[in-house]
Amino acid sequence: MNIPLAERLRPQTLDQYIGQQHLVGEGAILRKAIENGKVPSFILWGPPGVGKTTLARIISNQLKRPFFSLSAINSGVKDIRETIAKAKKQQFFSQPNPILFIDEIHRFSKSQQDALLGAVEQGIITLIGATTENPSFEVIPALLSRAQVYVLNPHSKEELLKLLHHALENDEFLKDKNIEIQESEALLQHAGGDARKLLNIIEIVVNATTEEPIVINNETVTEKLQKNIALYDKSGEMHYDIISAFIKSVRGSDPNAAVYWLARMIEGGEDVKFIARRLIILAAEDIGLANPNALLLANSCFQSVHVIGLPEARIILSETTIYLACSAKSNSAYTAINQAQKSVRQTGNLPIPLSLRNAPTRLMKDLGYGKNYKYAHDFDGNFTQHDFLPEELHGQKWYEPQQNPQEKGLRERLKRWWKGKYTY
């Protein structure tokens, strides 16, 4: 069959739609808007293969509205204006607005987004945008303020298995095949929460097997994918695999591998700001306090590539990538905030010690707010021991300095200050 499996199985109604129950389940916010026929302009933010395009089409069908679609990859300002002009012609008296769906809206330039703004403001169209990137970074504030943002989650294991069985039982091609699912771990791992990727994998495995029964297990899935890697990546679905390889190469202190994966992304047309943002996260999560300058450099890199653009931005990205890969590594800040958040979830909102509370009024002072607080700058060395945690957490620690020169110095300073209160 020429039509891909993912397209053959694309849901046509909300009842057929799998996942995103927080948005389209019974009583959920987006489902209510659809049922009431009052859908605002909105942006769907989530990873690939979680149903952004499908949801936009379902909404258009269910509300019986004209549907226009543009891709930010190959549409310019002229295309936008022509589409808005067509939408205007669809407006008759009390007819609801046509829907304009824009895939990968984060790739639109400011001028392209400006071209949309008037049509959204005037109600000529209802905009539905889809993005894999945080819209706060990529969508202009004026447009963002006129659109709701709905976050879509990766599909769970249960949802992917439900989709798998639905495909085997209902697809006109697959249901006539003798397919035996022995193991699903490799299927789910390679899919990574992406429904479209899962269906593509099934199609690859089935099409690459000539004898029946077609046995699907971890070994056959891995083998067939390795032999058909070009087909597997024909629509750019290894985007997240390449950024993963890039991140792991920097974390693993291999500048050559890191630059190779950087080159793969640049040659593949990846957004340089996307790469630069990942470098900022890397600097904080994997280098952290072992070299605080890494975060400064990564942030400077982001600002620079935003101003410069390609092709010169590749040099800035290369410099930052090599610096981060060669830097000492520490994830102590990442681990500390994870552990602290875990403690908060376990202990709840513990009372703030009175000595730490703000006392802007006389009543608050009379109640003991701020009493016995020790102002550090009043003491030698600008330090004195004080209890800054809720009583129930006294002596708890979440930050553990790691074994790199920078943090060894921090460890010694903390030991000198706290004299055994925290065991460092």
Q: Residue 39: how many CB atoms within 10 A of its CB?
A: 21
Sorted by where each begins, the domain ranges of the chain are 19-151, 157-232, 239-326
What's the burial of 200, exposed, middle or buried (CB within 10 Å: 0-12/13-18/19+)?
buried
Packing angle between helix 52-63 and helix 29-36, nearest 10 degrees? 30
| Exposure of 353 in the CB half-sphere (CA atoms within 13 A) | 15
Find the DSSP H helices in 2-64. 5-8, 21-24, 29-36, 52-63
Residue 322 has pLDDT above 90, yes or no: yes
| Residue the block writes with tokens 């389940």 | 25
Within 64-123, where are the H helices?
77-89, 110-121
Region 111-118: mean pLDDT is: 85
Q: How many CB atoms lie within 10 A of CB 286?
A: 22
pLDDT, the chain, mean: 86
- 291: nearest Cα among 243, 258, 321, 326: 326
Residue 43, classified by CB atoms within 10 Å of its CB into exposed (0-12), middle (13-18) or buried (19+), is: buried
Rg (CA), the chain: 27
Q: How many helices (H) and strands (E) does the chain have?
A: 21, 7
Across 9-13, 219-223, 225-229, 314-318, which has the greatest mean pLDDT?
A: 314-318
Q: DSSP letter string over 238-275?
A: THHHHHHHHHHHHHTT-HHHHHHHHHHHHHTT--HHHH
Mean pLDDT comparison of 18-27, 95-104, 114-123, highest-scoring range: 18-27
Residue 232 has pLDDT above 70, yes or no: no
Which two structure tokens, joined as six digits, stand for 412?
Answer: 């010694």
Q: What is the pLDDT of residue 187?
A: 87
Q: Considering the entire predicted model, what is its pTM? A: 0.59
How far apart, in whole angstroms, are the C-alpha atoms of residue 2 and residue 329? 49
Q: Taking residues 63-86, report their average pLDDT.
A: 84
Specify the CATH architecture of the domain 19-151.
3-Layer(aba) Sandwich (3.40)
Instruction: Give, in order, the Cα–Cα distances in Å from 217 to each of 164, 225, 238.
Output: 13, 12, 22
- Report the candidate in 161, 234, 223 with the shortest Cα–Cα distance to residue 193: 161
Percentage above 70 pLDDT, the chain: 94
d(CA 24, CA 17): 9
User: Rounded to 5 degrees, what are φ and ψ at 405?
Assistant: -55, -45
> Nearest Cα to 125, choosing from 98, 85, 96?
98
The CATH number of domain 157-232 is 3.60.20.10: no
Fold of 239-326: Zinc Finger, Delta Prime; domain 3 (1.20.272)
Could you tell me the pLDDT band of residue 257, with boundaries at 50, 70 and 90? Answer: very high
* Residue for token pair 């790199």: 404
pLDDT category at 265 given cuts 50, 70, 90 is: confident
Contact between 291 and 328 under an 8 Å Cβ cutoff? The reply is: yes
Is 80 exceeded by the pLDDT of residue 229? no
